[in-house]
Amino acid sequence: MNLSATLSLTGGVTISAAWIDEISDAASAPTCEDAVKGFTQDNLRYAVPRTPLTTTFSGHTVRIYTIIGGYHGPGRYEGGVIAGDDGTGVMVSVDSNKYGIVPGTMLSAVVMPDNSGTVTYTNLGIVGVAGPGTVSGTLSWSCSTLRPPSPTPVGTPPPATLPVLTTPTPTTATQSPAPAGSPTPSGTKPKPTPTPTPLPH
């Protein structure tokens, strides 16, 4: 399965990132149909894509901690069911700054039946720090199930090659007259030879 994600943040910091998720719970599912069912860990929940642990984006180290709690399948989710999986409400971290729920924060998420989806962050603040410095943006992802081609069974003979048939061109036979003294063809009655009449003496 292939889980492609993009993150766009603006405000206190600007981030534009794209990656293939290989570490979230959803990324370990065999198919997109399995991933969209969610995962039971403490309570039924859905973990959105996670960033690679060794990759930086725009020169920043970015981590995603967002989950959807009380997940019940594809649909729209808002408010308090969207949380951070570290118990502190942190949704996203950029370098040493952890952005989460502060007064004025609004959160929404949509998960589609094909396991694509979007989380919209509005006014995430730095947790434990009062004042300006909020970020807003979206995390989006799409899912595709990679199916390997069907192998050819061992011992399968190659397809037979049919012979090319040609139609002979008819030829017209020309019969030459039989030469004198030639035997009469079978089935043909010979003409009687006239008997000479004797002359009177």
Q: Three-state SS for 57? A: strand
Cα separation, 91 vs 102, in Å, equals: 11
Give the pLDDT of residue 181: 55
Residue 61 CA from chain centroid, whole number = 30
Characterize 172-201 residue by residue with b for buried, 16 or more Cβ atoms within 10 angstroms of its Cβ, and e for exposed: eeeeeeeeeeeeeeeeeeeeeeeeeeeeee
Task: Give the chain's length.
Answer: 201
Phi, psi for residue 81 in degrees, rounded to 5: -75, -15
Q: Are strands 60-64 and 106-111 parallel, antiparallel or unpaired?
A: unpaired
Query: Averaged over 156-168, what is the pLDDT?
Result: 59
pTM to 2 decimals?
Answer: 0.69
Parse the chain into domains and list their residue ranges.
2-144
More confident residue, 127 or 106: 106
Identify the CA nearest to 16 among candidates 46, 48, 51. 51
Whether the CB-CB separation of 32 and 75 falls below 8 Å is answered with no
pLDDT 10s digits, 47-73 = 899 999 889 998 999 999 999 988 989
More confident residue, 146 or 193: 146
pLDDT 10s digits, 80-93 = 899 887 677 899 99
Cα separation, 34 vs 22, in Å, equals: 15
